[in-house]
Structure 1
């Protein structure tokens, strides 16, 4: 069976009016069987994951494990999972790209799981390069035939892919933030939010700015980022969301009243995001 992976780049189209209602984090419930893995099960809540008891690593790193095939001592380097959900490259579809070295198959289980979310996979292709096998899907909403724009559904796509990756490639759970709660193997190291969080804003023409956010990954992060941005009346035109191992990288094209953000407003956005990202909390009910 084929699986889905972890580094995501998503394109979004939002305005403050469309996101004025409260967003809540999406958290997966671990399936009780392999058959259940293709059906994403999630709940919403407003808690955040804890950063206590963590080991500092500034970027996602590869992990090695022992291959138990009779050759003791032989090291098997586990590649970093990468999932990219891209809204910018195709005007008519959401593009999902999944990479996990050369370990992925045709990902039929992942495509079926995405269909269970009310999505159609309209095109798929595979290509190889030095980083491994890249599986690309073009996805549209089944009811409208259009690309996905809702942040909750984009996050559900991301978590569905990560859930399938963990179920069918359990060795990937040691490289993913979700592995701590839903994988067979928890990550040996986690990203320190204080060290890993980087936020920059620059002009991207006269009518919009480019917001870049890099931080420790966790369930519901995409939805939470959009909520923080739109709560201060900033419009999110489009964007990408990448999950690379334990890190998440977001790129948003934003504007304020159809204009690029002025310096004081840029600082407000940076301060708001940094305050939010550096103060995670958790409860047992989160899991």
Structure 2
């Protein structure tokens, strides 16, 4: 995120924040099991811009409480270069508020980008934070309404090579289809930076194993996903049952679901 200091700005002032996420990755092609298709992890960073104004809720990370714009402005003015402002993503995957946080509490790289802290990711055995996603099929997927079903959340950057390939989707579709044949239905969703039109162009007619969710990369931020592709399996009660990067998908696919 790019911190900034405001002084004499007009009443309709808007600040644009540049969010840079560096995703932990391994360079090259990896495979966890000899019999699994070989897939790749993303190695790089993603930059997005978000806009806030004086009416946007601002949270002081140290207290967890909302502060006024005047207090926020004073904090940055008196402490130049010590704080960063970053978006907080809601259950819709949108930046509905922002938080101001000391740089010393962030994993900041030499180029100024901020890495997601893997220690802040959800954990197995915990309830999944609520989400409401709209799939490419036009349907709404609400985590609260999906209780009673298994859910597989797949976190991607974009549906394009070298990540999105026949090999990378085959392990997913095989897992979904195999369980369906046993009478276990799994709602499978995939987040992406791609727009709806880009998804329609990128997703082939073959079964990719999930419903794409256009313009949904905010969920990668919401769940602190530090590498992609990455997967979270949620049980019928909304509890996280398993988590794994694509290269270790067998941690999920080998589970016996009932």
Which TM-score tier does this pair reach, normalised by the shorter chain? under 0.3
**Between Structure 1 and Structure 2, whose CA radius of gyration is higher?**
2
| TM score, norm. by length of structure 2 | 0.26
Q: Higher relative contact order at CA 8 Å, sep ≥6: structure 1 or structure 2?
A: 1
| TM score, norm. by length of structure 1 | 0.24
| Larger helix share, 1 or 2 | 1
